[in-house]
Amino acid sequence: MVTSDSKQVAVDINEVTFRYGNIRALDALSLEIPAGISFGLLGPNGAGKTTLIRLLVGLLKPKHGSVRVLGEVPSRRVAYRIGYMPQLHSLYTELSVQQNVDFFAKINRLSGGAERARRVEETIRLVDLWPRRNDSVVKLSGGMRQRVSLACAIVHNPPLLLLDEPTVGLDPELRVTFWEHFANLNEQGVTIIVSSHTMDDAAHCDHLAFMRDGRVIAQGGPEELRSDTGQTTLEDAFLYYVRSGERNAA
Amino acid sequence: MLPRYAFTIAGRVCRQLLRDRRTMALIVVVPIVVMTLIGLSFPEGIVLDRIAPALLATMALFFSFLLTGISFLRERSQGTMERLMASSVSRLDVVLGYLLGFFIFALTQTLIILLFTIYVLDVNYNGDLWQIFVFQIVIIAGAVNLGIFISTFARNEFQMVQFIPLILFPQVFLCGVIWPVEQMPEYLQWIGRFLPLKYGVDGLRDIMLSGMSLIDVWFELLVLVGFTVATSVLATLTLRRGVGG
């Protein structure tokens, strides 16, 4: 697994604004995410989390401001160093688990037959699907498809993982398993950026950014956010920032 | 900018279609059923002989466009295209990869139609069979690219279905498939000159009815190759790396 220096910056977002027509999805948003940590983008639906991740992966371009990922403007040149897991499963449902993972390994510059085959097997075993490797994705449950999708994102050992709501629809046991995978990757120096709207996920992250209406309304470690607001849960801490923001606006 | 992953994408498209047995069965059965119905509706062989070139050109265009357009759109609605575009592949990789992948199946379908028309419906022809097939390959290449290009304008399957009559009916009516182009008003003849099926129908008629060679129909071939290149470029340019906005 590729390691990265924790003092380096993995993602640098500077005053980014993005609109879908008249709807402002991101509003002068700035964030600096250090390498080697797990960073949670937390907020309700429509907060701008998916838009931000799509900007980081280069699928969208900011209308104003700048984005740098691993020191570069997001593009094809840097894409193979990023593992992207979209919100939809985004898998080839007729293909088998192994064929899906192998395809994403190939297009992410993992060449060399034997080495690639070894890495594909290792990744499928990691997500505990090796016995089902020859099954078509269409035959798998939702949770299994999530695991295949994760395998496709990590098969090429990227130093940065962008995971858009990776735990949505997972049962509590599988959610714990996913976070164990993420913790293992973190230990190997991989930077993980996870978007979520559930505060269960938030507790697993090293650092959080609470998002609402395309802005970051607060950021810090889970414990820091709780203690700063005097709340016992992250959900209450989030609501505290939302309400104090509304009071200030009024 | 070199298409480094085009063959990887083409291989994946082929594996995907081959594993979908129902689609594979339909790719084989549907053209046979359609051609059988057409054959039965023309009991007089001589009539079928005369309309066969136009039918073969139309079928090649129709089935290739349909197969590619719907499949490519499905990639986008399932989110796999977004994931692909977020990787290191270029737009040229994607267009060439899908062109190669779909082309193999469109070619198979066209070959089935051609052999069924010649050997089962017993259509008489004058030119060489291989020259007829080579000419059809050029029609298919353009149709596959047209499917990719048009599908970039559709957001869902319903919109794509609306494009089918828009693309195909004008060509069927203005390119001499049903009645001679010369009997149409001048302005409609003029529009027909911009439609690829006209050159497909004219070229196949020249080969199958007049016994001409591929060299004799160089102009029609050149126009169809130009159409293929143009739709390739347009498909590459209109394929967005982004997903909206």
Give the model's confidence band at B1: pLDDT under 50 very low, under 70 low, under 90 confident, else very high. low
**What is the pLDDT at residue B179?**
78
* Residue pLDDT, tens place only, B83-118: 999 998 988 899 899 989 988 888 888 899 999 988
| Cβ pair B245:A76 closer than 8 A | no
For residue B80, the chain A residues in CB contact (below 8 A) are 90-92
Predicted confidence pLDDT, tens digits, chain A (250 residues): 444 444 689 999 999 999 998 888 999 999 999 999 999 999 888 899 999 999 999 999 998 999 999 999 998 889 999 999 998 889 999 999 999 999 999 999 887 788 899 999 999 998 889 999 999 999 999 889 999 999 999 999 999 999 999 888 778 888 888 888 889 899 999 999 999 888 888 888 999 999 999 999 999 999 999 999 888 888 889 888 888 877 776 6
A57 and chain B in contact, CB less than 8 A: yes
B40 compared with B12, residue with greater pLDDT = B12
| Cβ pair A90:B80 closer than 8 A | yes
| Cβ pair A60:B242 closer than 8 A | yes
- Residue B244 confidence (pLDDT) above 80: no
**What is the pLDDT at residue A104?**
95
A59 and chain B in contact, CB less than 8 A: yes
Q: Round to whole Å and give the CA distance between A100 and A149.
A: 9
Nearest to B85 by CA among A95, A145, A58, A151: A58
**What is the pLDDT at residue B240?**
66
Handedness of CA B149, B155, B161, B166 (dihedral sign): negative
CA distance B243 to chain A (A): 6
Nearest to B27 by CA among B141, B138, B106: B106
Q: Round to whole Å and give the CA distance between A4 and B217.
A: 62
**Residue range B66-80: mean pLDDT, rounded:** 87
**What is the pLDDT at residue A145?**
93
**What is the pLDDT at residue A250?**
65
Q: Which range, of A130-134, B155-159, B192-196, B204-208, averages the lowest pLDDT?
A: B155-159
How many Cα neighbours within 13 Å face the side chain of B204? 33
Residue of A nearest to B17 (CA): A94
For residue A152, the chain B residues in CB contact (below 8 A) are 83
* Residue pLDDT, tens place only, B133-144: 999 999 999 999
B78 and chain A in contact, CB less than 8 A: yes
CA distance B18 to chain A (A): 9
CA B232 vs CA B91, B101, B150: distances in Å? 11, 14, 11
Residue of B nearest to A99 (CA): B12
**What is the pLDDT at residue A2?**
41
| Cβ pair A88:B86 closer than 8 A | no
- Residue B245 confidence (pLDDT) above 50: no
The residue whose two tokens read 């001499």 is B176
Q: At what angle do helices B129-151 and B91-115 cross, to 10 degrees?
A: 140
**What is the pLDDT at residue A25?**
92
Q: Round to whole Å and give the CA distance between B128 and A141.
A: 53
A117 and chain B in contact, CB less than 8 A: no
A17 and chain B in contact, CB less than 8 A: no
CA distance A205 to chain B (A): 25
How many Cα neighbours within 13 Å face the side chain of B7? 2
Give the model's confidence band at B241: pLDDT under 50 very low, under 70 low, under 90 confident, else very high. low
Q: What would the 3-class secondary structure string for B156-208 be?
A: CHHHHHHHHHHHHHHHHHHCCCCCCHHHCCHHHHHHHCCCHHHHHHHHHHHHH
CB–CB of B121/B35 below 8 Å?
A: yes
Q: Which of A93-102, B24-33, B39-48, B53-62 has the highest mean pLDDT?
A: A93-102
What mean pLDDT is reported for chain B? 87
B77 and chain A in contact, CB less than 8 A: no
**What is the pLDDT at residue A117?**
93
**What is the pLDDT at residue A17?**
94
Q: Round to whole Å and give the CA distance between B230 and B227.
A: 5
Q: Round to whole Å and give the CA distance between A53 and A18.
A: 12
Q: What three-state secondary structure class fits B234?
A: helix
Residue of B nearest to A17 (CA): B245
Residue ranges in chain B assigned as alpha helix (H): 6-19, 21-41, 45-77, 80-85, 91-115, 129-151, 157-174, 186-192, 196-210, 218-238
- Residue B79 confidence (pLDDT) above 80: yes
* Residue pLDDT, tens place only, B116-160: 988 988 888 888 889 999 999 999 999 999 998 888 888 888 888
Nearest to B138 by CA among B209, B189, B64: B64
Chain A interface mutation, best of B72, B83, B96, highest count of A Cβ atoms under 10 Å: B83
How many Cα neighbours within 13 Å face the side chain of B219? 6
Least CB-CB distance to A58: which of B15, B86, B89?
B86
Nearest to A57 by CA among A66, A69, A45, A46: A69
β-strand A38-42 against A207-212: which pairing, if any?
A: parallel
**What is the pLDDT at residue B160?**
86
